[in-house]
Structure 1
Amino acid sequence: MKLLYTFAYINILKAEEDAPQIRVTKIAHLDITVNGEPQEQGTVDIGLFGDQVPKTVKNFETLCGDGFKREGDEQVYSYNGTRIHRINKSFMLQAGDIINQDGTGSISIYGDTFDDENFDLKHYDEQWVSMANNGPNTNGCQFFVLYDEARFLDDEHVVFAKETVQSFFWKAERVVKAFHMTLAIEKLKTRSFSYNST
C-alpha cells in the first residue's frame, strides 16, 4: 500500500443533514489480487481522515506501510499479503486480520486492541471504511468497506476513511472502475483474495 499526502476535501454524496465536509489527509492504495493474479482495476484508493480520527488513521497507516514489530518479537506486522476474509453481498467486505487471516485475530500499534476514538463520522453510504471490532474499545487491525449505507453501525464502529476519494477528484472515471472492482470482489469467493502493500 502506498500513502500520499493530499489536501482534498470530500462531501458526502447523499444528502444527509449531519454529513460534514471532510479533509483527506492521506491516500492509501490497496493492490488487490485474485488467486495471486493482479487485476485490471485492482488498485483501490482509500482516503484517510487524519483530522477526525488521528489515532485510528496512524494505526491503519502504519499497517499499510512498513508495519511494526513488538518488543522482543522479530515478526513484522503489516497488511502485506493479508486476505479479504469476509464478504457479505450487498453489505460489506472485511479484511485486515494480519494474525490469523480469518477474522479472529487482533493487533495494533497500541497493543492487541485500542479504544474507540470517536463516532463523529457515520456509515453514510457505500465505500466508507470502518474499524471492525468485537464490541466497545476493541479495535485492532481489521477493517471493512461498505457496499451500501449502514447507519445501524453508527456509534459502534469508528469510520476513518472512504474508498476512491482521490479518484473522485482527480480521475473521475476511476471511481466507477474501482467501485466496479469492489462489486466484482463481492461476487467471488472470500478465500481467493489478498492485497499487498506496495
Structure 2
Amino acid sequence: MTQVPVSQSIYEFTMGSGRGNPVVYLDIAIGNDPLRRLRFELFYPQLPITVENFRQLCTGEGKDKARKKMLWYKGSNIHRVVPGFMMQGGDITHGNGIGGSSASSRMFDDEGFMFKHMRGTLSMAHQANTNKSQFFVCFRDCGWLNGKHVAFGQVIAEDLVYLKHFEDVGSSTGLPLKPIAIVHAGQLCGINFADATDMAQPGDENDGSNEDAAL
C-alpha cells in the first residue's frame, strides 16, 4: 500500500512523539460542495479494541463473513447533525441510525471512560455495551456524556475549523438540511498502517436497535 502523504505536523504529533497512534480520515461531502477531510488521532494504547474497530471500518478491513461483505465507512452517511451538540454517522447497514455493524460483525462492550467529551472528540454512539460502528463527533464540550459513551479519538487540531461547515447544515430534529456522504475513508499513519487494505485509497469513486436514542 502506498502511504498517503501527511503534513509534517501530523507526523511529528503522532509518530515523532513516540506514541504512534493511528491517524485515520473521513472524506466527507455536504451536498455538491467540495470534499472536506476530517483526520482523527485514535487513542490506541488506552482503548485498543475500540480503536481497532474504528480503524478497520475506515480502511475496509472489516468483514461480514456470513454475507461475504466488506464493512467500510466509505459510501455511508452522516445521518444526524444537531447544531451546538454533535454530528453522528457510521450506520453502515441502514444509513438512518437504526443499524450498524462492528468490523467483526459482533457488538462489543464499553472499553473505558478515561477521555472527556470536548470539541472535536470522537466517541461511540450506542446504548450501554452495544458498540458497533456508529460514532459521533462533538461540536462543543459535552461533559454530560462522560462516563456514558466511550471517547476514543480526537479531530486533528488543523481540521477543527471544518466542524462549523457540518454544524451549519444541522437542524433541531437532527435531520441534515443537505445530504452528507462519507465519500472515502482510510488511514494515514500509525499502528497497523501496514494492514490497511489497498482499496482504501483517496480518489476512488463513492460506493453506492435505534442507537440515536442513546444520545
8 Å Cα contact 1:93/1:146 also seen in 2: yes
Tell me the equivalent position of 1:142.
134
Other structure's SS at 1:183 match: helix
Tell me the equivalent position of 1:194.
181
User: Pick from 97, 100, 104: which aligns with 1:103?
Assistant: 97
CA offsets 1:10-44 (integer angstroms, 9 cap, x no match): xxxxxxxxxxxxx56011121111225433xx111
Other structure's SS at 2:56 match: helix
Gaps of 5+ in 2: 171-175, 186-201, 203-215
One-letter amino acid of the structure 1 residue matched with residue 180 of structure 2: F
CA offsets 1:127-186 (integer angstroms, 9 cap, x no match): 01100002x10111000000111111111100110001xxx4xxxxxx2xx323211111
8 Å Cα contact 2:63/2:104 also seen in 1: no
Tell me the equivalent position of 1:180.
161
Tell me the equivalent position of 2:121.
128
Distance, in Å, in 2 between the alignment partners of 1:60 and 1:76 is 14
In terms of mean alpha carbon deviation, does 179-188 or 148-157 score higher? 179-188
Other structure's SS at 1:105 match: coil
One-letter amino acid of the structure 1 residue matched with residue 120 of structure 2: Q
Bigger proportion of residues as strand: 1
Gaps of 5+ in 1: 10-22, 169-174
Tell me the equivalent position of 1:75.
69
User: Pick from 147, 160, 180: which aligns with 1:155?
Assistant: 147
Greater relative contact order (CA < 8 Å, ≥ 6 in sequence): 2
Q: What percent identity do the matched residue pairs reach?
A: 31
Q: 1:3 to 1:87 in 2, by over 3 A?
A: farther
8 Å Cα contact 2:62/2:104 also seen in 1: no
Other structure's SS at 2:69 match: coil
Other structure's SS at 2:160 match: helix
CA offsets 1:108-133 (integer angstroms, 9 cap, x no match): 1243411001111121x200110000
Distance, in Å, in 2 between the alignment partners of 1:33 and 1:93 is 14
Q: Does 2:81 align with 1:90?
A: no
One-letter amino acid of the structure 2 residue matched with residue 132 of structure 1: A
Q: How many residues align?
A: 170
Aligned-pair RMSD on alpha carbons? Answer: 2.3
One-letter amino acid of the structure 2 residue matched with residue 137 of structure 1: N
Other structure's SS at 1:82 match: coil
TM-score scaled to structure 2, two decimals? 0.72
One-letter amino acid of the structure 2 residue matched with residue 32 of structure 1: I
Q: 1:76 to 1:110 in 2, by over 3 A?
A: closer
Other structure's SS at 1:50 match: coil
One-letter amino acid of the structure 2 residue matched with residue 65 of structure 1: T
Distance, in Å, in 2 between the alignment partners of 1:63 and 1:182 is 21
Q: Does 2:58 align with 1:64?
A: yes
Distance, in Å, in 1 between the alignment partners of 2:32 and 2:92 is 17
Q: 1:97 to 1:36 in 2, by over 3 A?
A: farther
8 Å Cα contact 1:6/1:25 also seen in 2: no
Distance, in Å, in 2 between the alignment partners of 1:7 and 1:52 is 20
